[in-house]
């Protein structure tokens, strides 16, 4: 008969603490803020500039930055033109996955929730355009870069934050492994 009981400080058998509702809502607050800012900025551009019309808020830097009303049927930054339906379906699938993953994340993952909220908000912001217009409205033109919008920035920002979090966790795991190995060598 196995009478093994975990030690009081043994965390290997304990389930992680579930996230509170206030932690889970972070994803939706960030996504909502992105969607509102994205849709507001796109509507402002659509109402203020004709298609392909340019406005240089600072004429001296126009070669490097200007506002241009453009459309995009592809992915972020104008890649893969003509794939509006495909990218719309992908946005729905990714959004569902993010929402489910947010629900399963344990407590204490607020930066990850922010990264996912940026990605979710960006995906849904462009999805709204695809349903509303059949294309995405882009307007930020920084010289040699493809024209983009707030939703694109949010997706890229979310990906960068996710990459940084992954890198940081990897470093912490390596440090913990080195410390464990050092304790084993000394013991």
Which sequence positions are flagged as catalytic? 138, 152
Cα–Cα distance measured from residue 158 to residue 166, given in angstroms and rounded to the nearest whole number:
12
Cα–Cα distance measured from residue 98 to residue 116, given in angstroms and rounded to the nearest whole number:
7
Cα–Cα distance measured from residue 66 to residue 49, given in angstroms and rounded to the nearest whole number:
12
User: Could you count the other beta carbons within 10 Å of the beta carbon of residue 47?
Assistant: 8
Q: Show the DSSP H helices in the chain as ranges.
A: 21-48, 84-104, 110-133, 150-186
CB 35 within 8 A of CB 125: yes
**In what helix (H) or strand (E) does residue 69 lie, and over which residues does it extend?**
strand 66-72
Helix (H, G, I), strand (E, B), or coil: what is residue 137?
strand
Cα–Cα distance measured from residue 119 to residue 162, given in angstroms and rounded to the nearest whole number:
10
């Amino acid at each position: 008969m196995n009478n093994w009981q975990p030690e009081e400080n043994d965390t290997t058998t304990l389930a992680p603490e579930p996230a509170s509702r206030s932690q889970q809502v972070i994803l939706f607050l960030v996504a909502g803020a992105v969607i509102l800012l994205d849709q507001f900025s796109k509507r402002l551009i659509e109402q203020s500039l004709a298609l392909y019309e340019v406005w240089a808020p600072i004429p001296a830097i126009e070669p490097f930055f200007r506002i241009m009303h453009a459309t995009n049927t592809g992915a972020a930054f104008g890649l893969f033109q003509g794939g509006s339906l495909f990218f719309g379906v992908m946005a729905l699938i990714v959004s569902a996955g993010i929402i489910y993953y947010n629900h399963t994340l344990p407590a204490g993952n607020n930066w990850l929730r922010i990264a996912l909220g940026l990605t979710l908000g960006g995906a849904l912001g462009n999805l709204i355009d695809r349903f509303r217009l059949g294309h995405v409205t882009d307007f930020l033109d920084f010289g040699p870069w493809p024209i983009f919008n707030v939703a694109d920035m949010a997706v890229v920002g979310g990906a960068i934050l996710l990459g940084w979090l992954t890198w940081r966790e990897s470093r912490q795991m390596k440090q913990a492994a080195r410390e464990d190995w050092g304790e084993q060598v000394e013991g």
